[in-house]
Every structure is written in C-alpha cells, then in structure tokens.
Structure 1
Amino acid sequence: MSVFLGTHQNRLDAKGRVSIPAGFRTALRAQAAAGEALVILRPSHQYPCIEAWPTAAFAALSQPLDRLDMFSDEHDDMAAALYADAYPVDADREGRIILPDTLKEHAALTDSVAFMGLGRTFQIWEPAAAERRRAEARTRSRQLALPAQGRRQGGADA
C-alpha cells in the first residue's frame, strides 16, 4: 500500500487551486478505483487543518456507521460529522485541486499550504500551524511507547 510521507509546501493560487505533491498524487492514484474521486477532503475535528483521505480509506472510516440504527440520533450525528463537510475532489492535468472555501477558512489558508503526510492519509495546513503541530507531535511522541509487535500493551505476550 502506498503511504504519504514528508511535509511539502506549495502555493495556493487566487482561484483556490494548489498542486498536490507528486509523491502524494502517485499514492492517491495507486489507491483510486476507476470512477472514484482522487481524494476526499474534510475539516479535521481535532485541528485547524484539512484531512485528505484516499476514497477507499474514507469508505473504511465510515463502515462503523453500518452497525448503528439508521434512524438513531447516534447515526445521524456521526453521519453528519463524517459526510456533511466532506468533499470528493479530483486533480486537473497539472495535479492541482481546488480547495473549497469552507475548508480554506477552517484551516486559515491564504497563499501557501503545507501537505503533511500521515501514512495512510495526509493533512493540509497553514504552514506555520503545520510546523507548530509537528513540533507538538514530536514532543508528545517522546512520551509514548508503541507496543512491540506480538506483544500487548500490558507487556504480556499476545
């Protein structure tokens, strides 16, 4: 599976277009099925940035909704949170996408954006905010310990 690596900065033009980094475009195209949007964009619930999901990964994210009663408040809340502000987006021949105004406002984007790879997904940030987030993540990650392969968090063998 292709992954999104690194942080890349690109200019946002007056029409709201920005070029997806070449490596990210390659990863998106490798994961996209015929007839699907290249990427799904949505506002982050946690940070002032835009989340970018390959279509298949976004579909997997929404699978838990199928376990909820379709007519329940929980289903409506989760569906609204997941889908109401999601935008399927395709790139033009130059690899540019148009960022919807509501998403640009959410992330406080003006003339430059930072694409931050997160493995299976990526985020689009205002560059200074992206640097602050990366610094925060580095600091917090020093205090985390990932469980070793084949071992549970409590230290017992799996």
Structure 2
Amino acid sequence: MAQRPSGYSGQGFSLRGEKGRYVLPPSFRKAIAPTEDDPRTLCLAKHDRWNCLVGFGLARTDTFEAQLDREEEAALRRDQDFDREMRATQLWTFSEIPFDASGRFILPDHLADLAALDAGICFLGGGQFFTLWDPDQLYAMSAGWEGQQAVCRKLADDAAAKAKRK
C-alpha cells in the first residue's frame, strides 16, 4: 500500500474545457490517488473563511475528529465559544467528485457558484488541503497573498497563451 502524502503543495491552473471540465494538477491527483487501486475522488467544499473551495482526498476525513478537538481546545484557551456541531458540519459537508486518470472533472454548479468559479481555476497547495480560486477572488485578497497572486497571474497567462495556440 502506498503511503499517503502528509500534505498538498504546489500550484496549477485550469481553464474550463469545451465539455465544461477542469483538470486537476498532476501533483494533487497523485496525492489523492497515488495508485491505480485508490479511488479517484476529489472532495470539494466551501472554505470556511475565504471565497474559494478546498479540495482533498477521502483519506483526510480520518483527521477530522482530531482537527475538531484542536479547534475546540484553542477556542477554550482564548475563552471563545466553539460550536463543534457547526464546525463538524462544515468539515463533513463536501461533495465527492470523480476524476479520470488525466485529472479531468466536472465542477458542480452549486460549488462553482459558492466560490464564483467560472472560466478558470487557480489551484494552490495548502497543507492538509488545497484551495481552488477564481483568479479575481484571489487578486482581491488582502496583504499577505502577493506571492499566490503572482503565481496565479503567471499560470493564468500561460494557460491563456497555450489555449490560443490550439
């Protein structure tokens, strides 16, 4: 059995294809399904604070209870309320999206609407999950996002140039 990666790193960009499909970057699809025996299932949910989606493989669900414990303990240390049921619902309310060996998948409309995703998606590694951004939503983020914004601009320009050559 292949060992699961400890996190998602890297980046990618996908324009929506002619059949309405996007392409999951190779590093992320290999992390989700490292062998042919692993299900090619992309889990997608709305990020709890940012206007983007989070993506991960089914194996991440094994860590949800520990994550809830950590978040609850941190809230208690800060003397803040923590609604464990609400947070659990946020974590467990994800859509399971199949993708093929080339990484192609169809983004459901309700998820696209939640994150204002349309013509292109910028994928950014983020450790236990990766994020899927509409470029304009990423460009609107405040200070601290400059590196990710620059990567997205470069990847979007490269994808547009490649599409023009076809």
Interval containing the TM-score (normalised by the shorter chain): 0.5 to 0.7
* Number of the residue aligned with 1:82: 91
In 2 relative to 1, CA 125–76 (structure 1 residues): closer, same or farther, beyond 3 Å? same
| TM-score normalized with structure 2 length | 0.63
Q: Give 3-state SS (helix, strand or coil) of 2:43's partner.
A: strand
Distance 2:126 2:68 in 1: 24
Q: Is 2:45 aligned against 1:42?
A: yes
Q: Deviations over 1:94-153 (max 9, x none)?
A: 3111212111111111111100111231010002333454x73357xxxxxxxxxxxxxx
CA RMSD of aligned residues (A): 3.2
Mapped contact 2:42–2:56 kept (Cα < 8 A): yes
TM-score for both structures, normalised by structure 1: 0.66
Residue in structure 1 matching 2:13, options 9, 13, 25: 9
Distance 1:37 1:63, change over 3 A: farther
Q: Residue 144 of structure 2 is aligned with which of 114, 137, 140?
A: 137
> How far apart, in 2, do the equivalents of 1:80 and 1:96 lie?
28
Q: Could you tell me how far 1:80 is from its partner in structure 2?
A: 2.9
Deviation per CA, 1:56-105, whole angstroms, max 9, x where unpaired?
11331245669xxxxxxx55433432333x10122124311121211111
The DSSP-based 3-state class of the residue aligned with 2:51 is coil
Q: 1:156 matched to which residue of 2?
A: none
Which deviations, in whole Å up to 9, do the C-alpha atoms of 1:6-54 show, x marking residues without a partner?
2211112355421001111112112x89565522110011101010122
Partner of 2:130: 122
* Structure 2 residue 91 is matched with structure 1 residue 91: no
Larger Rg: 1
Q: Aligned pairs, how many?
A: 132
Closer, same or farther: CA 77–2 of 1 in aligned 2, 3 Å: closer
Would the alpha carbon gap of residues 37 and 88 (structure 1) be closer, same or farther in structure 2, given more than 3 Å must change?
A: farther
Residues in 2 aligned to 1:57 and 1:64: alpha-carbon distance in whole angstroms: 10
Partners of 2:101 and 2:30 lie apart in 1 by 13
Q: Percent identity?
A: 26
Unaligned stretches of 5+ residues in structure 2 = 70-82, 147-166
Corresponding residue for residue 51 of structure 1: 54
Unmatched segments (≥5 aa) in structure 1: 67-73, 140-158
Contact 2:32–2:40 (Cα < 8 Å) also in 1: no
Alpha-carbon distance change, 129 to 64 in structure 1, aligned in 2, over 3 angstroms? closer
Distance, in Å, in 1 between the alignment partners of 2:39 and 2:134 is 27
